Structure 1
């Protein structure tokens, strides 16, 4: 079993801190501590969820959160900056096309090593990076 963590864009962290930081400070300054506590709780929950985004290669299966992909069903891997919602914390992404019409966008921190590990299991994957 090999685990890869998601790459995290610095601007994403700043954006989230900015969005939640303002209500936290505003809540403290106006003595609305419930607002601050709620925003801090949401912020901690989000960062906890971010820490759980990982990609696991176990045998011939790739696990991306709750999705299980048979590595032998992967047809193509290509580079993308598609901003669609996905288990990726960076816009430096790769798309994994599997089965007939399925696709998942991910952003492994060690992209080349990740792809090489997939190729060891299924050398027929078309790579366009």
Structure 2
């Protein structure tokens, strides 16, 4: 599967979903998201396509929920603009319409083979992260 130029999200990943051999860009919205706080056990292997020359987006991926394993790859570091970020435990971006949800990303295994920063917002617990990009613990919820 290949998704390009989406204005919402390339892939909306839910509970126990498996997404492999898929590609998306993040020109206008995140390449993929696991938006739901009650989602558990998703497995994602995503290749990021050329995301340069986009508009009004700084989100490469959003991850909420519990026990997901996520691998993010790229063919060329030039495909990832410096402003794109991978965010854990956030409302922003597509999905999660439960106004009473408490944002969290618990026991997430993330292998970020891109240069994008990984931002760990409050609610991120027990992450296991390997990343080419910087990993930053953020003290304020977004």
Higher strand share: 2
Q: TM-score interval w.r.t. the shorter chain?
A: under 0.3
- Specify the structure having the higher radius of gyration (Cα): 1
Give TM-score, length-normalised by structure 1: 0.25
Q: Which has the higher contact order (CA 8 A, sep 6+)?
A: 1
Give TM-score, length-normalised by structure 2: 0.23
Higher helix share: 1
